[in-house]
Structure 1
Amino acid sequence: MITAKASSLVTAAMRDTLIYDPITKAETPVQQSWVSLEISNGNGDVATLTRWVKHPTITDGVIRVQHGPALTTSAILPYDDFFVGRAGSVTSPRGFHNWLAQFIGWRLPELSARDGRTAPLYMEQVFPLLFVEQKRGWAGIQSQMPYFSAVPDVRKRAIEFLLALEVGGLDLRRQELQANLRGLESQWTTERQRFVDRASGSGITLEGIPKQIKAGWTPDGRAELLSADGAGWIPVLEKLRRMRLELKSASARNVRAVGQISQLIEQQLQAALDKSTRIQEDGAIIRDEILRDQDELTAIEGRLAALEDDLRQYQDVATLERLGSHTTADLQSDCPVCHQTLPGSLLGDQSTHLMSIQDSINYIKQQTELFAAMERDSRRSLEAKREQLAGLRTEASETRALIRRLRSDLVSPNDVPSEEEVAARVLLRQRVEAAERVLEDFEVLQAALVRLASAADALRIELASLPKDRLTEVDRTKLEALRLSFVKQLQEYDFGSFSDERLRLSDDDYLPRRDDFDLQADISASDSIRVIWAYLIGLLEIGRRFETNHPGLLVFDEPRQQSAKDVSFAALLRRASQHARGGQVLLATSERSETLSQMLAGVPVRMHNVAGYLLQPVEE
């Protein structure tokens, strides 16, 4: 929570040299140093944790867990070593935070990160609500929040977890459903594109299947494959039916000799030559259309880019206008589309009003929608024509091969079987098999897309069923109790920046607000410290009254910051003692013993006075 480098957290007195005699102040080299902590949980289990700062063989990445009270007894206890400060410390069975979460009884949630992956809510992100360190912790509530997990709103998620707010689970479920829906949309696009890529260049186009998943989608006869047929299109099923009939008819007769069909061969050759000429002409027409469509698409894309730039500029102007700027009058003389200078009125009537900034924005948005639709249509048309041209090229190649075979037949001896009839049957059979494979792939694609659409519909239904109101009644009860505790404490701590009538907790991040402003940005430094006291102790109190994940532990390191008044600090000590029952509040302070004794008169506490230096040598 405080630093990524554990060794830099402790002072040189634990790493290099130690001064432990306040009289001589002699420096003694440190050979070994460590920190041991004895803890217990709500089940009565006790463990002793040890982490070495300096050791000849053990690094600070190891924490030893002795299963029992090693500091308060002299018994020899079994132990396990766990690692910390590296990947797996939360999830691995040998990770210390994994062990500690089980010991506390926490089940830390998985959160959606910005890069699309999931990451747990780390303990380091919860503990700023439980432990305030002296040097940097008093800058604000959760001021030492680490953001290494790339989880958005992690401060909010930590509060939701600690208070066990139901909205946290609902938000997490909503994020999970949305992530799953995005995954299905990605699969849909991938499956469709994979089929299109396989069919690309074969003169086949896909109709009736949207590029993006749609609610309630089913094929319903709308999805079909079309095959290029000259300058037009026919369904692949119809083309396959024709080819099967042709193949059946050809297979029913024997291959004839060249002499038997010489006249037919000449007729077929002439027809093939005519077909080749027609294909070349159709191809030239389609190529010209493709070039025109490409130019049109480029122009539309340029227009869209210009409209988007215009929209950004006008939105910026609208923002300045809303903020009270009067420097936008010069735009009134420009056309929002072509930027030409306009007279006061196109009709010469000076009383006619020009379009306002907002009118211009609405007009540009309409234009953008129009050109976006034109762009989609142009792309679809261009893709279809490219497939049509690919089909014509395949047909032209087959026609040229046919011409070569027919010419070969014409110069062959009369008793030789016709090469064309043999090749035509082989080629026809290959076409039938290829069409059958494409249709089989198409059936597989439709089945996969139906499953994806059905799964997406189920996710959408569950998303729609989630409560529209983010906070449940139980959540609101907890937050209202936290607000009342917070306000009451501020009164006890002599909060002086303003009255508390307008203090509330934000529904967005659950942090204190005054009207719509961050409370801590609008108060004195000493009152900012009081806000941190009140909020964190409020969380502790809510954990005593409601079912939450608060462990009942709160640690304040030097809480009397910014010269907080004696009366405020005394009130903090009383409040902390009063509401720590069943848990533990630890305060470390350098206040004089006499002053503390007066403040703590009649307050149930356990006070440990440290005389001299805190760190002392250990004799073994």
Structure 2
Amino acid sequence: MLSITALSLEINSTNGLYGAFFQFEAGLNIIRANNTSGKSTIFQAIIYALGFEELIGGRNEKTMQSVLKDTVLDGKDQYRVLQSAVILQISNGKKEVTIKRSVINEKRKSQLVDVIEGPALTEPKNNYTQKQMYLHDSGAATDSNYGFHLFLEEFIGWKVPDVIDNSGNRIKLYLPLIAPSFIIEQKSGWSSFFATMPFYRVKNAEERIIEFLLNLDVFQNEQAKISLNIDKQTLVFKWQSLYQEFVRVGERNNAVMVGLPESPAIINNLSDIYFRINRNDNYYLIDELLVELQKEYDDLSKETEITVGENIEKNQTRLTQANDNLIRYSYTLEQWENENFIEKDQLKHYIRQKKNIEEDLENNKAARKMLNLGAEAKLSLAENKCPTCGHEINGTLLPIEVNQSPMDVERNIEFLTAQLKMLETFVNGQRKMVQDKETRINDLKSHIQILRQQIRSLKKDLISDERLPSEELIERKINLKRLIKLYEQLIETTQDLKEKVKILSKEWEHLKSAETKLAGILFTTQDSAKIEYLEVSFIKLLTQFNYQSKEKNSIKISRDKYVPVIEVKLPNEKPKYYDMRFDSSGSDHIRCMWAYYISLLKTSLTKNGNHPQLLIFDEPQQQSASTADFHQFLKELSLQTEAQSIVFASFQNSQSDFEAATKGLIFHKIQGNERFISKL
């Protein structure tokens, strides 16, 4: 829990020291004063000390009232502020700490916070340990040594979870995001629920906050889904890296990888993954090729004992055959390279077409949106133009005199979507074809290189001393030995890669199983009970606060966003739900907000939630809400004795209004007759 026990303002000016001191109690606290007396300064000082000044539209000292950063007004005289600070004493029910944060100080930045381990305002004579921390910078919510908001989170007793941001990445549910659920600011805070929530890129931030405050099981399930998605993304990255490693190994060995998909999959039989190698216009598995290479090597081992002279006729035949193969391979290489050039050009064409269709599809979707809003839109097909190539469509099955478009926008989108899907298939297929052709070209180039080397050796043998052993046979034997070693290493490498595939496949199977289990989980029984309690409590408080705009039986708490909605039931149709504020008068909208924020507190207290048990309202008597209804609001706050509420109100600058609104209530009053800040 979190409660405020004391606040002190210190302002050094050119006319000496000014300031103010306030003590707060459990239950209801009312800061009552007329307008321009400094209530807003006290309110802003509290949220500034907590590091929540983003609720009033900014960060650091620029958000503060001028009395804390520019000039102090004393009667009719103004004095320049030289230095100022806010000191706030807070409690979590077990211990108290004091926070000191400078507003103006030439030697300290406003991001620096002093945390004093003890009630330094109410018991100032004791010597307390002190530590400096920071906020509004990277690490302020995570640095265990100096991060102030991490300290505050732990002080309250929270374990704030990670959520997903708008980019799908993990991000913390920062404290300034939660603060608008229990601190309502005067200028913007009463316009809608959580109106002053700062932008931290958190996806569906309002829902995540309410799930956290009420400690819903669905929140834990959501966290599990978030973790699962992150694990899946990590595994996809590992799998794709492994796939690329397979491809690189294949390229280094003039081999084609078969059987491994580019995306994660459950692989039951690792033997389905293998390398295929082209040699002499035939495809081999590695084991099959090694058998053939070993046989060739053994045969050559016998032939190398024969001299050049004894091999002249054989060498002549081999040279002729090698030259014939070189001509044939060179011709095939030229043919394949020409084909590959054409196939690459076709791939570029498909990619350009795909990009054009994607752009046209986006334009049509935008046009559909405009049409749905009642605008007029000119479509390419409505103008007899093909959305793919832009050429004129010269004819239709409709007579010329019939003034009707061949396709409406919906069919246009369907057509383009089908075209895009088809082109994606073409692009993927063409890219695979280009990759396979390039592998075959590289393999053929390797064979041509070996063949040329063999021709050189054969020619050298034919003019060498006939008594010497055949150099060509020796080189062939060396090359065969090198190939045998190369493919033996490839077998070992492949086995290692397959073991990695096996591990990732098992992980993927586990993740898919977990995803299936989480997919059907919605609300648990406890979650449903909490939301129903919130709904019943909210409607009951609306009745107490004299809400009149809608029938109570049409008011619900949304099961997806957890905010008040109006349910509309039409015969033979599913119920429709509308934001309650649009169906409520101005004063009734304020009553809704009173009821909702108090109901969140009551539900959390009753159902073991995470609410900080603190409510701070700045000028809640908005939209001329009646004094009688405001009395009911204050009465409800005064009954929440397990929590602390602080209300800043002018009571329409009327003492009689104040007395009527607080009649019979138990509360702690802080009265300001003129200005709260005075000369000390």
Q: Same fold by TM-score, threshold 0.5 exceeded?
A: yes
Show the counterpart of 2:347. Answer: 297
Q: Cα 1:62–1:426, aligned 2, differ >3 Å: closer, same or farther?
A: same
More deviation in 150-159 or 357-366? 357-366
Q: Cα 1:440–1:530, aligned 2, differ >3 Å: closer, same or farther?
A: same
Residue 570 (str. 1) matches residue 635 (str. 2): no
Q: Which amino acid in the other structure matches residue 335 of structure 2? A: I
What's the secondary structure of 1:549's corresponding residue?
coil
Task: Tell me how far apart the structure 2 counterparts of residues 335 and 11 of structure 1 sit (CA, whole Å).
Answer: 62
Aligned counterpart for 1:481 among listed residues 507, 517, 533? 533
Task: Tell me how far apart the structure 2 counterparts of residues 598 and 223 of structure 1 sit (CA, whole Å).
Answer: 83
Q: Which amino acid in the other structure matches residue 340 of structure 1? A: I
Show the counterpart of 2:321. Answer: 271
Task: Tell me how far apart the structure 1 counterparts of residues 471 and 587 of structure 2 sit (CA, whole Å).
Answer: 101
Q: Deviations over 1:275-322 (max 9, x none)?
A: 111211222332343234334434544554455456556656666776
Residue 377 (str. 1) matches residue 426 (str. 2): no
Q: Cα 1:82–1:517, aligned 2, differ >3 Å: closer, same or farther?
A: farther
Residue 15 (str. 1) matches residue 75 (str. 2): no
Q: Cα 1:316–1:200, aligned 2, differ >3 Å: closer, same or farther?
A: same
Residue 241 (str. 1) matches residue 295 (str. 2): no
Show the counterpart of 2:225. Answer: 174
Show the counterpart of 2:116. Answer: 66
More deviation in 479-488 or 159-168? 479-488
Q: Check conservation: 1:227, 1:233, Cα contact below 8 A.
A: yes
Residue 583 (str. 1) matches residue 643 (str. 2): yes
Aligned counterpart for 2:151 among listed residues 81, 99, 108? 99
Q: Which amino acid in the other structure matches residue 178 of structure 1? A: N
Q: Which amino acid in the other structure matches residue 162 of structure 1? A: L
Q: Which amino acid in the other structure matches residue 573 of structure 1? A: L
Q: Check conservation: 2:367, 2:377, Cα contact below 8 A.
A: no
Alignment of 1:490-509 (within 5 A): 490-509=542-561
Aligned-pair CA distance for 1:108: 0.3
Q: Cα 1:500–1:326, aligned 2, differ >3 Å: closer, same or farther?
A: farther
Task: Tell me how far apart the structure 2 counterparts of residues 116 and 198 of structure 1 sit (CA, whole Å).
Answer: 33
Show the counterpart of 1:204. Answer: 255
Give the alignment's TM-score, normalised by structure 2: 0.82
Q: Cα 1:165–1:517, aligned 2, differ >3 Å: closer, same or farther?
A: same
Task: Tell me how far apart the structure 1 counterparts of residues 519 and 258 of structure 2 sit (CA, whole Å).
Answer: 38
Q: Which amino acid in the other structure matches residue 224 of structure 2? A: R
Alignment of 1:290-369 (within 5 A): 290-305=340-355, 307-308=357-358, 311-312=361-362, 340-344=393-397, 362=414, 364-369=416-421
Q: Which amino acid in the other structure matches residue 595 of structure 1? A: D
Structural RMSD (CA)? 3.0
Residue 194 (str. 1) matches residue 255 (str. 2): no
Aligned-pair CA distance for 1:496: 3.7
Q: Which amino acid in the other structure matches residue 282 of structure 1? A: T
Show the counterpart of 2:605. Answer: 544
Q: Which amino acid in the other structure matches residue 504 of structure 1? A: K
Alignment of 1:43-82 (within 5 A): 44-55=94-105, 57-82=107-132
What's the secondary structure of 1:137's corresponding residue?
coil
Show the counterpart of 2:189. Answer: 137
Task: Tell me how far apart the structure 2 counterparts of residues 565 and 501 of structure 1 sit (CA, whole Å).
Answer: 24
Residue 443 (str. 1) matches residue 504 (str. 2): no
Q: Cα 1:394–1:118, aligned 2, differ >3 Å: closer, same or farther?
A: same
Q: Cα 1:438–1:89, aligned 2, differ >3 Å: closer, same or farther?
A: same
More deviation in 243-252 or 585-594? 243-252
Q: Check conservation: 2:254, 2:443, Cα contact below 8 A.
A: yes
Show the counterpart of 1:152. Answer: 203
Q: Check conservation: 2:102, 2:108, Cα contact below 8 A.
A: yes
Task: Tell me how far apart the structure 2 counterparts of residues 323 and 113 of structure 1 sit (CA, whole Å).
Answer: 30
What's the secondary structure of 2:634's corresponding residue?
helix
Of structures 1 and 2, the one with the larger relative CO (CA 8 A, separation 6+) is: 2
Task: Tell me how far apart the structure 1 counterparts of residues 411 and 124 of structure 2 sit (CA, whole Å).
Answer: 82
Q: Cα 1:615–1:244, aligned 2, differ >3 Å: closer, same or farther?
A: farther
Q: Cα 1:492–1:58, aligned 2, differ >3 Å: closer, same or farther?
A: same
Show the counterpart of 2:677. Answer: 615
Give the alignment's TM-score, normalised by structure 1: 0.90
Aligned counterpart for 1:41 among listed residues 67, 80, 92? 92
Task: Tell me how far apart the structure 2 counterparts of residues 322 and 557 of structure 1 sit (CA, whole Å).
Answer: 41
What's the secondary structure of 1:139's corresponding residue?
coil
Q: Check conservation: 2:89, 2:99, Cα contact below 8 A.
A: yes
Q: Which amino acid in the other structure matches residue 475 of structure 1? A: D
Residue 599 (str. 1) matches residue 661 (str. 2): yes
Q: Deviations over 1:431-452 (max 9, x none)?
A: 2222223332222222212211
Task: Tell me how far apart the structure 2 counterparts of residues 413 and 127 of structure 1 sit (CA, whole Å).
Answer: 96
Task: Tell me how far apart the structure 1 counterparts of residues 377 and 202 of structure 2 sit (CA, whole Å).
Answer: 40
What's the secondary structure of 1:403's corresponding residue?
helix
What's the secondary structure of 1:157's corresponding residue?
helix
Count of residue pairs the alignment pairs up: 609
Show the counterpart of 2:53. Answer: 2
Q: Cα 1:157–1:248, aligned 2, differ >3 Å: closer, same or farther?
A: same
Q: Deviations over 1:325-375 (max 9, x none)?
A: 8988995795977862444459x9x9xx98776566555544544443333
Instruction: List alignment gaps of at least 5 residues for structure 2.
Output: 1-51, 568-576
More deviation in 446-455 or 313-322? 313-322
What's the secondary structure of 1:466's corresponding residue?
helix
Q: Deviations over 1:47-93 (max 9, x none)?
A: 22222223454432232222222222243132222322222222222
Alignment of 1:416-455 (within 5 A): 416-455=468-507
What's the secondary structure of 1:607's corresponding residue?
strand
Percent same amino acid at aligned positions? 25
Residue 108 (str. 1) matches residue 160 (str. 2): yes
Show the counterpart of 2:278. Answer: 228
Task: Tell me how far apart the structure 2 counterparts of residues 567 and 393 of structure 1 sit (CA, whole Å).
Answer: 93
Task: Tell me how far apart the structure 2 counterparts of residues 124 and 407 of structure 1 sit (CA, whole Å).
Answer: 83
Q: Which amino acid in the other structure matches residue 208 of structure 1? A: G
What's the secondary structure of 1:30's corresponding residue?
strand
Q: Cα 1:10–1:288, aligned 2, differ >3 Å: closer, same or farther?
A: closer
Task: Tell me how far apart the structure 2 counterparts of residues 199 and 191 of structure 1 sit (CA, whole Å).
Answer: 12
What's the secondary structure of 1:161's corresponding residue?
helix
Task: Tell me how far apart the structure 2 counterparts of residues 557 and 194 of structure 1 sit (CA, whole Å).
Answer: 62
More deviation in 82-91 or 47-56? 47-56
Task: Tell me how far apart the structure 1 counterparts of residues 583 and 440 of structure 2 sit (CA, whole Å).
Answer: 68
What's the secondary structure of 2:277's corresponding residue?
strand
Instruction: List alignment gaps of at least 5 residues for structure 1.
Output: none
More deviation in 463-472 or 365-374? 365-374
Q: Check conservation: 2:259, 2:274, Cα contact below 8 A.
A: yes
Q: Check conservation: 1:286, 1:389, Cα contact below 8 A.
A: yes
Aligned-pair CA distance for 1:164: 0.8
Show the counterpart of 1:559. Answer: 620
What's the secondary structure of 2:624's corresponding residue?
coil
Q: Check conservation: 2:381, 2:407, Cα contact below 8 A.
A: no
Task: Tell me how far apart the structure 1 counterparts of residues 359 and 100 of structure 2 sit (CA, whole Å).
Answer: 61
Structure having the larger proportion of residues in strand: 2
Task: Tell me how far apart the structure 1 counterparts of residues 480 and 267 of structure 2 sit (CA, whole Å).
Answer: 36
Task: Tell me how far apart the structure 1 counterparts of residues 589 and 552 of structure 2 sit (CA, whole Å).
Answer: 14
